[in-house]
């Protein structure tokens, strides 16, 4: 396994077409695209890493998997009254589908869906408490209390987040937001601004590898059925309108973020985190996807 990650890191380092870093969030625009990290966490607790696997990055939309898990824990299937479970086929920040479907986002992994999930889990609490709950959960699943939020990234998103404000206002116009838009977006931007390295991120996915149990700590996080369902949502919706292409090339449940990270789950086998900040046209990590493609070719871990 160590040989495989070393080889992948070496090959990816040599790539010249590295994609384009997300520049609509000023703090992310400054990140060096020449970085690449990979970590594979096994249920035994072993972790195999290569490249810049210990460099922190902004997990961005990967956090949507964690906030959805928190929402399912708090309110169970009632969350599906607020958000759908279908692939969107649209960009991550698209407003078009919201209008057609009366303010109900297609799935929890597009921006509108994740904002609706935050609105649902706030349940009248202050943003600080909701955020603390999400961060606590992430620290618990990764078994790492050092995980923190990058306040600078959160403020940078807040300052430039006109599109997300539009999505939230549109949902509010359909009578679908229970809390003030400002408070909900405050939580949303902070959850997206959680910083993790590949090792931490790979570990955080272990509960989705073994039917809801993090075998490395022996803790049950969620039920087996819920783990299966979250994996299926990641497979269908985890890469926006590139989800079909990701399933075709990699064949694993995965969630990307515009920080360049991808969390992928090989059910029953491993949790994998890759990070390369340059994005493809759709907004998914260009070389992260390539690295996962290489990994499944070497290991046959595709679920298909």
CB atoms within 10 A of CB 96: 10
Q: Which of 35, 39, 49, 60 binds ligand GLU (CB under 6 A)?
A: 60
- Annotate 182-241 with DSSP letters as a single string: HHHHHHHHHHHTEEE-HHHHHHHTHHHHTTTEETTTTEE-S-HHHHHHHHHHHHHHTTGG
Q: How far apart are CA 110 and CA 260, in angstroms?
A: 16
Annotation marks residue 61 as catalytic: yes
Token reading at 71: 């929402």
Query: Shortest approach of ligand GLU to residue 284 CB, angstroms?
Result: 8
200 binds ligand GLU (CB under 6 A): no
Query: Shortest approach of ligand GLU to residue 217 CB, angstroms?
Result: 27
Q: How far apart are CA 154 and CA 175, in angstroms?
A: 27
One of 5, 64, 199, 285 is an active-site residue; which one? 64
CB-side neighbour CA atoms (13 Å) of 39: 25
CB-side neighbour CA atoms (13 Å) of 48: 17
111 binds ligand GLU (CB under 6 A): yes
Q: Closer to ligand GLU at the Cβ: 73 or 91?
A: 91
Annotation marks residue 24 as catalytic: no
Mask for 65-104, x = binds ligand GLU (CB under 6 A): ---------------------------xx-----------
254 in Cβ contact with 264 (< 8 Å): yes
CB atoms within 10 A of CB 25: 23
One of 187, 209, 258, 296 is an active-site residue; which one? 258
Query: Shortest approach of ligand GLU to residue 228 CB, angstroms?
Result: 24
258 binds ligand GLU (CB under 6 A): yes
Q: Closer to ligand GLU at the Cβ: 60 or 216?
A: 60
107 binds ligand GLU (CB under 6 A): no
246 binds ligand GLU (CB under 6 A): no
Annotation marks residue 248 as catalytic: no
Residues with active-site annotation: 61, 64, 188, 240, 258
């Amino acid at each position: 396994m160590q040989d495989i990650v070393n080889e992948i890191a070496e090959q990816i380092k040599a790539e010249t077409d590295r994609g384009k870093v997300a520049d609509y969030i000023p703090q992310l625009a400054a990140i060096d695209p020449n970085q690449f990290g990979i970590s594979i966490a096994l249920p035994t607790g072993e972790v195999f890493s290569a490249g810049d696997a210990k460099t922190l990055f902004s997990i961005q939309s990967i956090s949507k998997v964690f906030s959805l898990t928190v929402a399912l824990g708090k309110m169970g299937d009632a969350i599906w009254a607020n958000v759908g479970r279908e692939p969107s086929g649209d960009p991550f920040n698209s407003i078009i589908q919201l209008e057609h479907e009366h303010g109900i986002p297609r799935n929890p992994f597009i921006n509108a869906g994740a904002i609706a999930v935050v609105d649902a889990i706030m349940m009248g609490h202050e943003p600080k408490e909701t955020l603390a709950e999400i961060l606590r959960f992430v620290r618990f699943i990764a078994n790492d209390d050092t995980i923190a939020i990058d306040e600078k990234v959160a403020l940078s998103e807040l300052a430039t987040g006109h599109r997300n404000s539009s999505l939230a206002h549109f949902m509010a116009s359909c009578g679908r937001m229970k809390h003030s838009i400002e408070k909900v977006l405050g939580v949303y931007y902070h959850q997206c601004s959680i910083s993790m390295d590949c090792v931490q991120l790979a570990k955080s996915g272990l509960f989705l590898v073994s039917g809801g149990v993090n075998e490395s700590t022996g803790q049950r996080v969620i039920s087996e059925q819920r783990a299966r369902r979250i994996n299926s949502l990641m497979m269908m919706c985890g890469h926006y309108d590139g989800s079909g292409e990701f399933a075709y090339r990699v064949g694993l449940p995965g969630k990307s973020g515009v920080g360049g990270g991808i969390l992928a789950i090989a059910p029953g086998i491993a949790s994998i985190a890759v990070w390369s900040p340059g994005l493809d046209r759709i907004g998914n990590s260009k070389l992260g996807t390539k690295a996962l493609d290489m990994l499944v070719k070497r290991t046959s871990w595709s679920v298909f």
